[in-house]
Protein backbone atom coordinates (compact mmCIF):
# COMPACT_ATOMS: atom_id res chain seq x y z
CA UNK A 1 0.00 0.00 0.00
CA UNK A 2 1.43 3.33 -1.04
CA UNK A 3 0.77 6.41 1.08
CA UNK A 4 0.89 9.93 -0.25
CA UNK A 5 2.33 12.84 1.70
CA UNK A 6 -1.18 14.25 2.11
CA UNK A 7 -2.40 11.01 3.72
CA UNK A 8 0.51 11.03 6.20
CA UNK A 9 -0.17 14.65 7.09
CA UNK A 10 -3.87 13.84 7.46
CA UNK A 11 -3.02 10.98 9.86
CA UNK A 12 -0.72 13.19 11.93
CA UNK A 13 -3.39 15.91 12.13
CA UNK A 14 -5.97 13.32 13.20
CA UNK A 15 -3.61 12.09 15.91
CA UNK A 16 -3.15 15.66 17.18
CA UNK A 17 -6.92 16.25 17.27
CA UNK A 18 -7.40 12.98 19.16
CA UNK A 19 -4.76 14.05 21.64
CA UNK A 20 -6.62 17.31 22.36
CA UNK A 21 -10.01 15.59 22.70
CA UNK A 22 -8.61 12.97 25.06
CA UNK A 23 -6.95 15.67 27.19
CA UNK A 24 -10.32 17.48 27.45
CA UNK A 25 -12.18 14.30 28.42
CA UNK A 26 -9.64 13.27 31.06
CA UNK A 27 -9.08 16.87 32.17
CA UNK A 28 -5.33 16.37 32.28
CA UNK A 29 -2.51 16.67 29.76
CA UNK A 30 -2.14 13.68 27.46
CA UNK A 31 0.52 13.09 24.85
CA UNK A 32 -0.19 10.75 21.97
CA UNK A 33 2.66 10.63 19.56
CA UNK A 34 3.61 8.71 16.49
CA UNK A 35 7.28 7.87 16.83
CA UNK A 36 7.91 8.18 13.09
CA UNK A 37 5.53 8.15 10.14
CA UNK A 38 5.97 5.12 7.90
CA UNK A 39 5.78 5.47 4.12
CA UNK A 40 6.43 2.63 1.72
CA UNK A 41 9.26 0.96 3.60
CA UNK A 42 10.84 4.20 4.84
CA UNK A 43 10.57 5.89 8.18
CA UNK A 44 10.10 9.59 7.56
CA UNK A 45 10.65 12.31 10.13
CA UNK A 46 8.65 15.53 10.27
CA UNK A 47 11.74 17.37 9.04
CA UNK A 48 11.77 15.27 5.88
CA UNK A 49 8.05 15.82 5.37
CA UNK A 50 8.56 19.59 5.69
CA UNK A 51 11.48 19.44 3.25
CA UNK A 52 9.30 17.50 0.78
CA UNK A 53 6.53 20.09 1.16
CA UNK A 54 9.02 22.96 0.61
CA UNK A 55 10.50 21.25 -2.47
CA UNK A 56 7.03 20.78 -3.92
CA UNK A 57 6.13 24.41 -3.22
CA UNK A 58 9.31 25.62 -4.96
CA UNK A 59 8.38 23.56 -8.02
CA UNK A 60 4.80 24.85 -8.02
CA UNK A 61 6.03 28.45 -7.79
CA UNK A 62 8.30 27.92 -10.81
CA UNK A 63 5.49 26.23 -12.76
CA UNK A 64 2.98 29.02 -12.04
CA UNK A 65 5.48 31.80 -12.82
CA UNK A 66 6.46 30.10 -16.08
CA UNK A 67 2.82 29.61 -17.03
CA UNK A 68 2.07 33.28 -16.38
CA UNK A 69 5.00 34.51 -18.47
CA UNK A 70 4.36 31.80 -21.11
CA UNK A 71 7.86 30.34 -20.85
CA UNK A 72 9.01 26.79 -20.24
CA UNK A 73 10.37 25.77 -16.81
CA UNK A 74 13.68 25.03 -18.57
CA UNK A 75 13.82 28.61 -19.90
CA UNK A 76 13.70 30.16 -16.42
CA UNK A 77 16.91 28.32 -15.53
CA UNK A 78 18.94 29.17 -18.63
CA UNK A 79 21.35 32.09 -18.83
CA UNK A 80 19.39 34.24 -21.33
CA UNK A 81 18.71 37.80 -20.23
CA UNK A 82 15.43 38.78 -21.95
CA UNK A 83 13.11 41.08 -20.00
CA UNK A 84 10.41 38.43 -19.53
CA UNK A 85 12.95 35.87 -18.21
CA UNK A 86 14.43 38.42 -15.83
CA UNK A 87 10.97 39.40 -14.57
CA UNK A 88 10.02 35.74 -14.16
CA UNK A 89 13.18 35.00 -12.16
CA UNK A 90 12.68 38.10 -9.98
CA UNK A 91 9.10 37.21 -9.13
CA UNK A 92 9.94 33.53 -8.56
CA UNK A 93 12.79 34.52 -6.21
CA UNK A 94 10.50 36.89 -4.29
CA UNK A 95 7.70 34.32 -3.96
CA UNK A 96 10.05 31.56 -2.84
CA UNK A 97 11.65 33.87 -0.28
CA UNK A 98 8.26 34.98 1.07
CA UNK A 99 6.35 31.68 1.04
CA UNK A 100 8.76 28.75 1.39
CA UNK A 101 9.66 28.32 5.05
CA UNK A 102 13.34 28.15 5.85
CA UNK A 103 14.56 28.56 2.29
CA UNK A 104 17.93 30.20 1.76
CA UNK A 105 19.10 32.41 -1.08
CA UNK A 106 21.45 29.59 -2.08
CA UNK A 107 18.55 27.12 -2.37
CA UNK A 108 16.60 29.60 -4.47
CA UNK A 109 19.69 30.08 -6.62
CA UNK A 110 19.97 26.34 -7.19
CA UNK A 111 16.29 26.18 -8.19
CA UNK A 112 16.69 29.07 -10.67
CA UNK A 113 20.28 28.25 -11.73
CA UNK A 114 21.68 31.62 -10.62
CA UNK A 115 24.11 32.73 -7.92
CA UNK A 116 23.13 33.62 -4.38
CA UNK A 117 23.98 37.30 -4.97
CA UNK A 118 21.79 37.32 -8.10
CA UNK A 119 18.92 35.94 -6.02
CA UNK A 120 19.36 38.66 -3.38
CA UNK A 121 19.48 41.35 -6.08
CA UNK A 122 16.48 39.91 -7.95
CA UNK A 123 14.43 39.56 -4.77
CA UNK A 124 15.19 43.13 -3.66
CA UNK A 125 14.46 44.52 -7.13
CA UNK A 126 11.18 42.59 -7.32
CA UNK A 127 10.12 43.80 -3.88
CA UNK A 128 10.77 47.40 -4.96
CA UNK A 129 9.19 47.02 -8.40
CA UNK A 130 6.01 45.47 -6.98
CA UNK A 131 5.46 48.81 -5.23
CA UNK A 132 6.11 51.11 -8.20
CA UNK A 133 5.83 49.22 -11.52
CA UNK A 134 2.24 48.51 -12.55
CA UNK A 135 3.14 45.58 -14.83
CA UNK A 136 5.22 43.82 -12.18
CA UNK A 137 2.60 44.52 -9.52
CA UNK A 138 -0.13 43.07 -11.74
CA UNK A 139 1.99 40.02 -12.67
CA UNK A 140 2.87 39.41 -9.00
CA UNK A 141 -0.80 39.63 -8.00
CA UNK A 142 -1.95 37.29 -10.77
CA UNK A 143 0.78 34.76 -10.04
CA UNK A 144 0.02 34.85 -6.32
CA UNK A 145 -3.69 34.29 -7.04
CA UNK A 146 -2.90 31.33 -9.36
CA UNK A 147 -0.49 29.92 -6.79
CA UNK A 148 -3.08 30.05 -4.02
CA UNK A 149 -5.70 28.41 -6.28
CA UNK A 150 -3.25 25.66 -7.17
CA UNK A 151 -2.35 25.00 -3.54
CA UNK A 152 -6.01 24.94 -2.46
CA UNK A 153 -6.79 22.50 -5.28
CA UNK A 154 -4.16 20.05 -3.95
CA UNK A 155 -5.43 20.17 -0.34
Same domain, 80 and 56: yes
Would you state the pLDDT for residue 36? 47
Same domain, 54 and 82: yes
Same domain, 69 and 35: no
Same domain, 111 and 71: yes
Assess contact for 58 and 33: CB atoms under 8 A: no
- Residue-wise pLDDT for 47-70, tens only, equals 666 666 778 888 889 999 999 999
* Integer Cα distance of 107 and 100 in angstroms: 11
CATH number at residue 64: 1.10.1750.10
Same domain, 136 and 118: yes
Number of domains, the chain: 2
With a pLDDT cut of 90, the percent of the chain lying above it is 40
Same domain, 82 and 32: no
- Residue-wise pLDDT for 9-56, tens only, equals 777 677 667 767 777 777 777 665 554 444 444 455 666 666 667 788
- Residue-wise pLDDT for 60-110, tens only, equals 899 999 999 999 989 999 988 899 999 999 999 999 998 888 889 999 999
pTM higher than 0.85: no
Same domain, 114 and 56: yes
Same domain, 65 and 139: yes
Amino acid sequence: MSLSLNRVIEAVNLLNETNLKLANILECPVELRMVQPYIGGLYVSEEIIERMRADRLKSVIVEVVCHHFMISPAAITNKKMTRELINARMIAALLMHNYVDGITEGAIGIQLNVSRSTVINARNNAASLVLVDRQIKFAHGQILKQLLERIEKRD
